[in-house]
Structure 1
Amino acid sequence: MLQYVFHRLWQSAVTLVLASMVVFVGVRALPGDPATVMAGEQADEAAIKAVRAELGLDSSLLVQYLKFVKNALTGDFGRSIRTGSPVSDMIGTTLPVTVQLALYAMAIAVLAGVIGGVIAAVYRGRWPEWAANGFSLAALSVPTFWLGILAVLYLSVQLRWFPASGYVSPLDHPLKGIYFLTLPALILGLTHAAVVQRQTRSSMVETLTADFVRTARAKGLGRGAIILRFGLRNSLIVVTTIVGLQLGALIAGAVVTERIFSLPGMGKLTLDSLFTRDYPVIQAVVLVITTSYIVINLLVDVLYTVIDPRVRVSGRAK
């Protein structure tokens, strides 16, 4: 077990180093010069060079990268070119909003997806399966931004069931915070619920048609026990994989939803930074999102060995 975890840890470390290189080079490949933006369009060449030297952009790419890695390891991502504020403070303010939204949306996706998948698997060939599959098809087909706009116009503006915009931290005011996050979490979680549902159904159908399930039925085991003990339990490893991947996607893909509902999260910070070529902020945001992907996938791999001991194979986990 420890050997398996160590093996995954060094793989994750290598992935993170490679990702940091891609992030660093990719950000500098963006068109535009942040020094020109910061100095102003009317600034002369001397002023632009002074700003570039102040930001360290006159050094070689290798020197800039090594400095970036050294500072990032200590949690220092520099200062924003746009606002002058420490980037770590900006991320510390916006990241909790995105994480709260992602966790809420994932909870909705898992609950709706697992229930829909179980229904579709148990009632194969009947109307409950058609209804569940129709929901997943619609959720996958409708763009999130369009659904979000419709939800704001109908559920917020006309019916006034939910606020159209704004944010209250659930840590400060739990009920009010959940109320403000409910509608964006529903919109964000629908597509992911469809993915969870399809994978749950596929895994349960395979399990429920297996020989050992037929044997359990022949021995008189009840339908509910078969569904819970065999079907759902054996589907957990598939659901865990999907949840891990989708949670990382939720954190990275909340940009549009946060924009529609005016949430002060990482999405708004990312867009504002891209528009102004704010190198330090863009680098930090992408690195944080990449790290979240790697950490979540590492946790999922470790959870495999807890959910299903058969995963402790290949010699590394023994």
Structure 2
Amino acid sequence: MFVRSNCTVNKFVLLGLAESPDVQLLLFGVFLLVYVFTLLGNVGMMTLVRTDPHLHTPMYFFLHHLSFVDACYSTVIMPNMLVSFISRNKDISFTGCVAQLYSFVFFGIVECYLLAVMAYDRYAAVCSPLRYVVMLPKSVCAWLVSASYTLGFLYAAIYTGCTFGGSFCNSNVIDHFFCDIGPLLKLSCSDRVLREKVIFAFVSLNGISTSGVILVSYLYILSAVLRAHSAQSRSKAFNTCTSHLMVISLFYGAGFFVYLQPSTSHNGLDKVATVFYTLVNPFIYGLRNRDVKVALMKHIKRGLCVCLL
């Protein structure tokens, strides 16, 4: 997919988020707590969906995969970043950098398509509740999830190939806390205009296709909610969709800010934006749902009873 020239570096140096040792120690504590919370929350959500029969519906099937992807998405970056906070060694090998970027893009693309799939799921549940099971049988749900992973695999190969398709002769210092497309392209000493255009085109394609599905789905949902005669029905529909919209807004807003700009325009704000969209937690989306809360309380009570016996 990409060719290393004779002057390509063998390793990169990640500058990270801060240079001061005191600040790095503080950031280590903060991000360690966030990462542990993210892992526990997403693994807990996956376990809950698998073990509770009441959550064996298309919505929670998608949420299970979203939680898995989010846990992997964070794991691609966070452990290496945490080590860099407490270690003087901020190096990452060329191969390690390629693997990190590919994995990061893969899980990011899969998350985009899963969010779009979940928007369609909400459309089916709100606008056609009587045909919900018919519109989303197990075979269709499995196909939609498989397609999301397949597209992630293909697009990640394209992005990674374009990013590492040139030479890195000028410098090996990455002004970021992980191997990302923009900072890596800035280091390339070969012509990157065509590669940037290809990346921009595919980012736009992914963004427009997935956000288009989300927008159309929620326009139909909004229309159905406004036509509802019962205030209770409108409230239930809004509660179902609000958390999903929050996750979408954070993920897409930060993602578009970082990737829909030329590599020369990247600055320190990209790091802040990246922190937001790499730590999006779908388990928060799940915990706002009444069915998940009931299932969680049931498992907690069952665990307490076992402990007391």
TM over 0.5: no
TM-score (norm 1): 0.29
Q: Point out the structure with max Rg over C-alpha.
A: 1
